[in-house]
Copies of this chain bind each other. A is one copy, B any other.
Amino acid sequence: MDVDAHHIRDAIREAIVERRLAPGTKLSETDVGSLFNVSRTLVRAALQALSYEGLVNVEKNRGAFVAHPSILEAQQIFAARRLIEPVILREAAQRIGKAEIRHLRLHLADEERLRNERGAAARRAEIKASGDVHLAIAEISGNAILKRFMDELVARSSLVIALYGRSVASSCGHDEHQQIVDALERRDVDAACALMVEHINHIEADLDLRSAEKGTDLRSALRL
């Protein structure tokens, strides 16, 4: 199995976004390297990439840690989403067609299915599926740069929810996703934008200012 830096980065990112790796967990270079059977060189590249995405903090001479967003950062992440997602939505609305609506409905069905499943694995998949709806909309906007910005915002949001989330969050979100897509389908862009902002408000309202959990076991989190 040939593993490169991208593979390691993706594996760690997925673990962070699906909250198998708790914020604050130390990502030792040698540990990660031995898990993937590669040298520290590739691990460092992966960790550096993740630090650009804001998912990992690299402290000089101390090592890399799963990011631990402050409350201020959390607020800024959601503020950014409130500002950017409506304009992306408007852009997407201009280009949306039957095929795109169908694609979004597939995502919603996925969410619905996972919501009815039991178990931790289903919960993690649901978290990812929830973010994927937002990313699918960004994809429809047709702007690769905005899509990348959303990638980062969604990933970091997941981290914030892991830290400060009260309930399992996304449970209340699915209905709102559906309403947004409904509004898009009937070409009511203003309503869709309003619903989107409300949706983001709801996610943020579910957060709490409680301190974080401790780091979890690296190996089990990466499923290795």
Total identical chains: 2
| A76 touching B143, Cβ below 8 Å | yes
How many chain-A residues does the 8 Å CB contact rule pick out?
22
Would you call the interface of chain A mostly helix, strand, loop, or mixed? helix
| B143 touching A80, Cβ below 8 Å | yes
A132 within 8 A of B: no
Given contacts A84-B87, A87-B83, contact A145 B49 (CB under 8 A): no
Query: What would be 18 A-B contacts, judged by CB atoms less than 8 Å apart?
Result: A45-B48, A48-B48, A48-B49, A52-B52, A54-B145, A73-B144, A76-B143, A76-B145, A79-B91, A79-B143, A80-B146, A80-B149, A83-B87, A83-B146, A84-B84, A84-B87, A87-B87, A149-B149
Binding site for B on A (CB under 8 A): 44-45, 48-49, 52, 54, 73, 76-77, 79-80, 83-84, 87-88, 91, 143-146, 149, 153
